[in-house]
C-alpha cells in the first residue's frame, strides 16, 4: 500500500520546518508568497492530501451544511437548492443534500446521518407524513442551528421560511370567482402539511367573503404529481354539475389536469378555468398557459441559507431564536387558463 504523504515528508524534501509547511498550506500570512508557492508546488507533485477530517475535529467545524427535501425531482425544490448554492458558495461552505422521498422514517434516518456527519447547520422541508419534529432534538441539544423552509411546523425553537399561503389561496380562488366561476374545485395534498392546510383556508375564506357556499365534495385530496391528473379529471366529470373552476396546489398536477380535460373534449377556460401554484416552467409550456401563484423558490433558498450562515458567523445575534417565521411575498400571475372575461 502506497505511503500517505505528510507535511513532514514535504518539509524534509524542501529542507523546511514542518511548522512552515503547515502554515503555508493554511495560507498563514507569516509565510512569504515565494515560499508558499514552493511548498504548494511540492505538495501537488508529491500527492499530498490535506487531512480535512483531523482539521475539522480540531476546529469543531466542517463547513458543511445539510439540506433535506421531500423530493429532488421537483422543479420547486431544484430552484430552492439553486438559491442555496449561490449563498453557500459565496460564504465558502459546502452543501450535503438528501431527500426524504416523502417518508417520515427516511427523514429521521437522513437527520441522524446529517448529525453524525457533524454538519454545521441544517435546512429542511418536511416530508408529507412527518407528525412531529422530535428527531431534530439532538441538533438543539448541541446548539446546531436548524431552519425549516416551505413545509414547516410551528415551533418556538425553530425558524421557518414561507410565503403567506392563506393569502395565496385566497387570491387564486377570488380570481376564479371574479371570472364567473360558481363551482370551484380545490385539489390539495396532505393537509397535515402547513402549505396545503393554509391554501385550503384561503380557498374557504374567499368563498365566505363572496357569499358562496362551501361544498366539501369539491375538495379533492391528491399526491399532486403528473400522474394524478387522470384520476382528478375522472372525479370532476362525475360531479353533477361539473365544476367550472379548478384551483390546484401545484403546476405539474394542474398541467396534467389541463391535458386530461382537453383529451375529454373539455374547453379550458371556457368550460372550466384553471389556476395552479408555484410558477413552475411547465405552467408556461402547456396551452393555454396556466394562471399560477408565483412562489419565489430561488429567493426562499437564498434567504434561508443566508440566515443560517449569518447565524453561524455570528453576524445576526440569535436571529434563529428570536425570529420564528420569515414570510416572503408571492403574487398571482394571470394567464390564459383562467381568463374568461
The reply to whether 18 falls in a domain is: yes
| CB neighbours of residue 172 within 10 Å | 27
The reply to whether 55 falls in a domain is: no
- Same domain for 40 and 94? no
| CB neighbours of residue 218 within 10 Å | 20
Q: Are strands 245-248 and 94-99 parallel, antiparallel or unpaired?
A: unpaired
Question: Which H or E run includes 216?
Answer: none
Q: What angle do CA 83, 88, 91 make, to 5 degrees?
A: 135
Task: State the Cα–Cα distance between residues 226 and 285, nearest whole angstrom.
Answer: 14
- Same domain for 147 and 175? no
- Same domain for 219 and 158? no
The residue range of the domain holding 267 is 165-295
pLDDT number for residue 212:
96
Question: Which H or E run includes 61?
Answer: none
- Same domain for 121 and 243? no
- CATH code assigned at 82: 3.40.50.2300
Task: State the Cα–Cα distance between residues 95 and 55, nearest whole angstrom.
Answer: 18
Low-confidence ranges of the chain (pLDDT < 70): 1-2, 49-60, 315-323
CB 63 within 8 A of CB 120: yes
pLDDT tens-digit series, residues 252-299: 999 999 999 999 999 999 999 999 999 999 999 999 999 999 999 999
Instruction: Using alpha carbons, select from 191, 303, 206 the residue that is nearest to residue 249.
Output: 191
pLDDT number for residue 235:
96
pLDDT number for residue 259:
97
Q: DSSP letter at 156?
A: T
- Same domain for 217 and 290? yes
pLDDT number for residue 320:
52
The reply to whether 337 falls in a domain is: no
CA 96 to chain centre: 14
pLDDT number for residue 318:
46
pLDDT tens-digit series, residues 202-244: 999 999 999 999 999 999 999 888 889 999 999 999 999 999 9
Number of domains making up the chain? 3
- Same domain for 173 and 274? yes
- CATH code assigned at 43: 1.10.260.40
| Single pTM value for the model | 0.80
Amino acid at each position: 500500500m502506497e505511503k500517505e504523504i505528510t507535511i513532514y515528508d514535504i518539509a524534509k524534501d524542501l529542507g523546511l520546518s514542518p511548522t512552515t509547511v503547515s502554515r503555508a498550506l493554511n495560507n498563514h500570512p507569516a509565510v512569504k508568497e515565494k515560499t508558499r508557492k514552493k511548498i504548494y508546488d511540492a505538495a501537488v507533485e508529491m500527492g499530498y492530501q490535506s487531512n480535512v477530517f483531523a482539521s475539522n475535529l480540531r476546529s469543531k467545524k466542517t463547513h458543511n451544511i445539510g439540506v433535506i427535501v421531500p423530493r429532488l425531482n421537483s422543479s420547486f425544490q431544484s430552484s430552492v437548492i439553486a438559491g442555496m448554492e449561490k449563498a453557500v458558495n459565496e460564504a465558502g461552505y459546502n452543501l450535503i443534500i438528501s431527500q426524504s422521498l416523502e417518508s417520515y422514517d427516511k427523514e429521521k434516518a437522513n437527520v441522524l446521518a446529517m448529525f453524525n456527519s457533524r454538519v454545521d447547520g441544517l435546512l429542511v422541508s418536511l416530508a408529507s407524513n412527518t407528525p412531529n419534529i422530535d428527531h431534530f432534538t439532538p441538533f438543539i441539544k448541541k446548539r446546531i442551528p436548524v431552519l425549516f423552509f416551505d413545509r414547516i411546523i410551528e415551533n418556538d425553537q425553530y425558524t421557518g421560511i414561507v410565503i403567506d399561503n392563506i393569502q395565496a389561496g385566497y387570491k387564486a380562488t377570488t380570481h376564479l370567482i371574479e371570472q364567473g366561476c360558481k363551482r370551484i374545485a380545490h385539489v390539495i395534498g396532505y393537509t397535515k402539511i402547513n402549505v396545503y392546510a393554509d391554501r385550503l383556508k384561503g380557498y374557504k375564506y374567499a368563498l365566505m367573503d363572496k357569499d358562496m357556499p362551501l361544498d366539501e365534495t369539491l375538495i379533492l385530496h391528491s399526491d399532486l404529481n403528473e400522474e394524478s391528473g387522470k384520476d382528478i379529471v375522472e372525479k370532476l366529470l362525475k360531479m353533477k354539475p361539473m365544476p367550472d373552476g379548478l384551483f390546484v396546489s401545484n403546476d405539474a398536477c394542474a398541467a396534467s389536469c389541463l391535458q386530461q380535460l382537453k383529451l375529454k373534449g373539455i374547453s379550458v377556460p371556457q368550460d372550466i378555468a384553471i389556476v395552479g401554484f408555484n410558477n413552475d416552467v411547465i405552467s408556461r409550456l402547456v396551452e393555454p398557459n396556466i394562471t399560477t401563484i408565483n412562489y419565489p423558490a430561488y429567493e426562499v433558498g437564498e434567504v434561508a441559507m443566508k440566515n443560517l450562515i449569518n447565524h453561524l458567523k455570528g453576524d445576526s445575534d440569535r436571529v434563529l431564536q428570536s425570529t420564528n417565521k420569515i414570510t416572503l411575498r408571492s403574487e398571482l400571475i394571470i394567464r390564459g387558463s383562467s381568463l374568461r372575461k
